[in-house]
């Protein structure tokens, strides 16, 4: 199963809704994968604290508590060149019709669009 810790922010700029989805990844290219079902314990052992955990498909979607979790203890995607844990931010522009489509890349078989949709549902 996959673990998807995330931070979601929504703003409006010139009548366009902008969503940012900051997700914890492996090297910015893969989702965090574990064999255990003890998700809360696993993520807390890694100093990540959550407000909620929801399972959708084969992914545990974990809303990160930003007050308890020290985000700066982790790398950002632009700071690494290998397979370390790092935060990567994906964006959507617009509500019903996306103004800028996501790249056709995937993370662990999930499109960027699907990951954003799983978080926002």
Provide the domain count of the chain. Answer: 1
- pLDDT (0 to 100) of residue 100: 59
Joined tokens for residue 110: 């999930």
CA–CA distances in Å: residue 70 to residues 8, 28, 67, 73, 102: 16, 19, 7, 6, 28
**Enclosing domain of residue 32:** 2-105
Determine, yes or no, domain membership for 118.
Answer: no
Determine, yes or no, domain membership for 9.
Answer: yes
pTM confidence score: 0.87
- pLDDT (0 to 100) of residue 98: 57
Determine, yes or no, domain membership for 110.
Answer: no
Kindly report, residue by residue over 73-99, the tens digit of the pLDDT. 998 988 887 888 999 998 888 765 555
Determine, yes or no, domain membership for 63.
Answer: yes
- pLDDT (0 to 100) of residue 89: 92
Kindly report, residue by residue over 8-66, the tens digit of the pLDDT. 999 998 888 888 999 999 999 999 999 988 999 999 999 999 999 999 989 999 999 99
Determine, yes or no, domain membership for 56.
Answer: yes
- pLDDT (0 to 100) of residue 37: 81
Whether residue 105 is predicted with pLDDT greater than 90 in this model: the reply is: no
Beta strands in 1-121 (DSSP E): 2-13, 16-26, 30-33, 50-56, 59-64, 75-76, 85-93, 106-107, 110-111
- pLDDT (0 to 100) of residue 99: 56
Determine, yes or no, domain membership for 46.
Answer: yes
Question: Residue 75 and residue 80: Cα distance in Å, rounded?
Answer: 7
Determine, yes or no, domain membership for 78.
Answer: yes
Determine, yes or no, domain membership for 16.
Answer: yes
Q: Are strands 75-76 and 85-93 parallel, antiparallel or unpaired?
A: parallel
Owner of token pair 């790398």: 75
């Amino acid at each position: 199963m996959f673990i998807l810790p995330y931070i979601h922010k929504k703003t409006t700029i010139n009548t366009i809704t902008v969503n940012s989805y900051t997700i914890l990844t492996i090297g910015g290219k893969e989702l965090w994968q574990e064999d255990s079902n003890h998700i809360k314990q696993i993520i807390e052992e890694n100093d990540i604290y959550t407000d909620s955990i929801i399972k959708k498909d084969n992914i545990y979607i974990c809303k990160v508590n930003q007050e308890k979790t020290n985000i700066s203890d982790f790398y950002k995607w632009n700071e690494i060149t290998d397979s370390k844990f790092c935060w990567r931010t994906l964006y959507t522009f617009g509500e019903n019709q996306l103004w800028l489509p996501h790249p056709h890349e995937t993370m662990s078989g999930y499109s960027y669009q699907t990951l954003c949709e799983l978080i926002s549902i």
